[in-house]
Amino acid sequence: MKSHHGTLNLLSRASLLVTCAALSACTAAAGSPDEDLVETAELALTQQESVFGFENVTQWTASSGTVASSTVHSEGTAALGLSSFTYAELVSPALSSLSGVTDELALDIRLPVSPSYGQLQVFVSSATLGLSNTWVGQASLQGLSANTFHELVLAVPSTVKSKLQQSYSDLQIKITLNLPYSTSSTVLDNLHFKGGTSTPACGTGSPYTLNVTTVPGFDNAILEDMECTFYAVYPLLVQRFNTSAATTVGFNITNEPGVAWASGGSTFYNKQHMLDNPEDTDVVVHETMHIVQAGYSGQVPGWIIEGTADYVRDAYGLNNAAAGWSIPSGWVYGAHYLFGYGDAAAFFKWIDATYRVGQPPVVDALDDILRAGTYSSQTWVTLTGHDVESLWQQYSNNQAPLPATSGITVYEDSSFGGRAVILDRGEYDVSDLGARAVGNDWISSIQVPAGYTVTAYLDSPFAGTSVVYTSSQASLGALNDKISSLVVE
């Protein structure tokens, strides 16, 4: 294993004194102000050495799991052991200007078992440098042999490298780990910069190929960031969910309406959306997850498909914070798991924390079930001991409205087709509808039993064009997919 001091390229006290002498900026007089400055500089370097070497694990805070000092180490006298977690974030104390910053940041890791999936990512933050949870790099942990140290090497983006070489006193490093749950320790040691090498172009040596098409006027820098996101994340999704996923993926910038979508082994991104939202490059993570999901059979609920895609964007995205993107932190009135996307992703994370501790995350279990074509309503009972409606009630702390059993019925499609929701008498603003899994501008037909009257409104709350229905409507004409509030009497 490497020498801790040599690898970190830290200045020793002696070399610092030599430098000071050469610059005629220091004296050797004991207790002099200049010597105090030398001692202060040495202390800062010692902090970097201690933090990077995980010599004092109390300097690092963990979002989950149990942190302990490990006597099994690759250098120095100690390392950091983290156990009993599935996903965890380790955050360093505020660091002053780092020495020895190069193009490559490396870390030694020792796993208790060879994982079926896993990844490590590194982020940095410094208000002084204008860095906020800025991605540095990531490495796959899948298949690494157990009980031996492995060196992970991350190519530091040139923009991050240049900033880290500046002066600051508020730099924090965040290391995220995503691994199968284990009560045994994953050990981290010897965070260090390696000798300077150039960062390889995105995709160099990758077994995966992007077939890229674009349209005139698109920004090449955004396109490059999107491609780099694919090459960084797609292999991790393939390893975790579907090792038979396509090795060649279509990647299209288009003027077609919409934000982004996947179809027929290709992903599509609206040009104007990306130009207006250049930081939203992790939309690539969501869409390429749909490529990985190919091969499902039987009953395949769309909300699970979209919820899983946002779940992995939350876990693997490289630029979510800069884009201002996140999934909800918990249940909010107006949300429903049937909407998929972030609402379902947050629901899945709650299920993991509540019912799947020590087991594969629910998205992994669902992926296996959907590939086997055996999904049914009983799936949730098998995975958690509860049906999905009971889980949703628990997730909402019993605040989510219970499904109605009598009243009118609104339908997703015309001619009373698609998903149906029963609504009892009452007033339903857009959030009231949402809490019952009725989306805004979603209703396409309505069944109205005898004795009921429905007033549908174009806008919310109860405003704009309105139509009164006293009988069932297979088509809603001007209000088709445009209803934002309802009154049922």
Here the CATH number for the domain that contains residue 426 is: 2.60.20.10
284 CB burial (10 A radius; 0-12, 13-18, 19+): buried
Q: Which residues pair with 102 in a beta bridge?
A: none
Which phi and psi angles does 72 have, rounded to 5°? -85, 115
Q: What is the pLDDT of residue 49?
A: 83
CATH classification at residue 177: 2.60.120.260
Strand arrangement, sheet containing 119-126: 61-62, 85-91, 172-182, 119-126, 131-140
Among the candidates 159, 194, 229, a domain finishes at: 194
Closest CA to 367 of 238, 260, 265: 238
Tokens of 84: 């009993």
Question: 380 in a domain, yes or no?
Answer: no
- pTM confidence score: 0.62
Quote the domain boundaries for residue 427: 408-488
Decide if 133 contacts 125 (C-beta within 8 A).
yes
Residue 170 belongs to a domain: yes
CA angle 248, 134, 250 (to 5 degrees): 15
70-109 burial, b at 16+ Cβ within 10 Å, e below that, comes to beebbbbebbbbbbebbbbbbbbeebbbbbbbbbbbbbbb
* Joined tokens for residue 1: 């294993």
CB-neighbour burial class of residue 52 (10 A; exposed 0-12, middle 13-18, buried 19+): buried
Q: What pLDDT was estimated at residue 44?
A: 34
Residue 144 covered by a domain:
yes
Bridge partners of residue 253, in order along the sequence: 269
CB 22 within 8 A of CB 160: no
Instruction: Return averaged pLDDT per consecutive 10 residues of the chain, 489 residues in all.
Output: 29 27 30 35 56 92 96 88 96 90 91 95 95 94 94 90 89 96 95 62 83 87 91 95 96 95 96 96 98 96 97 96 95 95 97 96 97 97 97 96 94 94 95 93 95 94 94 93 94
pLDDT for the residue numbered 204: 77
Single residue among 194, 211, 229 that ends a domain in this structure? 194
> Per the domain annotation, does 131 fall within a domain?
yes
Query: What is the number of other CB atoms lying within 10 angstroms of the CB of residue 196?
Result: 12
Angle in degrees, CA 200, 279, 223, rounded to 5: 50
11 to 19, 95, 199, 311: CA distances (angstroms):
10, 16, 25, 43
pLDDT in the model for residue 411: 96
Residue where a domain stops, chosen among 194, 217, 235: 194
**Could you tell me if residue 66 is inside a domain?**
yes
Q: Is the residue at 155 inside a domain?
A: yes
Give the total number of structural domains in the chain: 2
Q: Which residues contact 18 (CB under 8 A, 6 or more apart)?
A: none
Q: Which residues contact 67 (CB under 8 A, 6 or more apart)?
A: 57, 60, 80, 81, 82, 90
| Residue 147 DSSP one-character state | T
Residues 6+ apart with CB under 8 A from 127: 170
Task: Name the CA dihedral angle for 315, 227, 102, 130, rounded to a multiple of 10 degrees.
Answer: -70
CB 91 within 8 A of CB 67: no
Task: Please report whether residue 316 resides in a domain.
Answer: no
Token pair for residue 128? 């002084």
Residue 249 lies in a domain: no
